[in-house]
């Protein structure tokens, strides 16, 4: 979940188990600490986050298969 309102977007998504990304480029409503999994300054940074998680998922899958 990508959002710019920590109390609504980040907290709500975290409560249902989603990974959270706080968009510092939007109207952040004065938020200094988002408590999100990631803070980004540009939407293009989401690509790197997804790549990181896909790599971890593939590595975890290989680990489980070899165990």
Q: 32-42, pLDDT tens digit by residue? A: 999 999 999 99
Which pLDDT band holds residue 67 (cuts at 50, 70, 90)?
Answer: very low
Q: 42-62, pLDDT tens digit by residue? A: 999 999 999 998 887 766 566
């803070």: which residue's tokens?
39
Closest among 20, 28, 26, 11 to 46, alpha carbons compared: 20
Q: What is the pLDDT of residue 63?
A: 53
């Amino acid at each position: 979940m990508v959002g710019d309102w920590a109390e609504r977007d980040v907290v709500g998504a975290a409560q249902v188990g989603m990974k959270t990304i706080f968009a510092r480029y939007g109207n952040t409503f004065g938020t200094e600490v988002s408590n999100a999994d990631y803070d980004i300054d540009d939407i293009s940074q989401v690509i790197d986050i997804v790549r990181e998680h896909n790599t971890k998922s593939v590595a975890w899958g290989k680990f489980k298969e070899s165990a």
